[in-house]
Amino acid sequence: MESKPIGLQGPSFLRNIFETAVVFLYPAECRVCEEFLGVTSVPYICANCWQDIQFLEPPWCDICGTPGVNGLCDACAISPPRYGKLRSIAFYQTTLQEAIRLFKFEKKKVLAQHLIRLINAHIPTDCRIAEYDFVLPISIHRKRLRERGFNQAALLANAIAGAEGVPVLTDVLVRHRYTVAQSRLDREARQQNIIGAFGIRNPEIIRGKRLLIIDDVFTTGATIREAVSELWTADPVEIDVLTVARTLAS
Ligand SMILES: [Zn+2]
Ligand SMILES: [Zn+2]
């Protein structure tokens, strides 16, 4: 008796059908480690890779949050930035980098829900969201908003502030100049690129208020510096910053 062709019998046949169904529903491989994704509650990235996210833990610089520093880092001791403090949730590498890229540039908003759960579970203890009057996401130019369809920082800000009942302002710190994406530029070019990019609308709303700026990634700090200096023109009493990710060297 002839045997049936391999692959059309028993468990491997069923497994093929099953895998085909999963591949149909989700991309076949984890976008980080390239292992077969299998059945997973979060698409695109496997459970093992989610475990790899490196959340920041103290000690960190009291002002800029640079990890591994007690008190102030050298840069803040010599010339402190104009915000009160900057905190970040995790390092910008591997899984988090890919998750943010998929969410931001491939518009995989389904990842945002999982990211937000992780973020809300790891807000640094010395960043108490409920103590701020307003949360302000770093705004993007309306042309970029049209291209991308959403502002990733606003989406994150809504989720973070919403959990604490703090209002989010998206129409006070506005981007009135269209700029090349900062991620394409080196440190010096980023600084030049962002100068004068922001403006303030309805400054009376934030006068005398405590503000928390939220952004997705902290790299050289050029965008944050520019936004902070623009916000001070409206006389708030405090400006702090929270970013989801920060690069290892900034
Ligand atoms: Zn993986
Ligand atoms: Zn510092």
Strand 238-246 relative to strand 86-91, pairing? parallel
Q: What is the pLDDT along the chain (250 residues), one digit of tens a residue?
A: 444 444 444 566 666 666 555 555 555 789 999 988 877 778 889 889 999 999 999 999 999 999 999 999 999 999 999 999 999 999 999 999 999 988 888 888 778 888 888 889 999 999 999 999 999 999 888 888 888 888 888 988 999 998 899 999 999 999 887 777 777 777 777 777 778 889 999 999 999 999 999 999 998 888 999 999 999 999 999 999 999 999 976 4
Of all ligands present, the nearest one to the C-alpha of 60 is: 2
What residue ranges define each of the domains in the chain, with the CATH number in brackets?
Answer: 50-246 (3.40.50)
Å from CA of 111 to ligand 2 middle: 31
Strand 198-200 relative to strand 238-246, pairing? unpaired
Å from CA of 50 to ligand 1 middle: 8
Q: Are 225 and 81 in contact (CB under 8 A)?
A: yes
- Helical pair 152-162 and 110-121, crossing angle rounded to 10 deg: 50
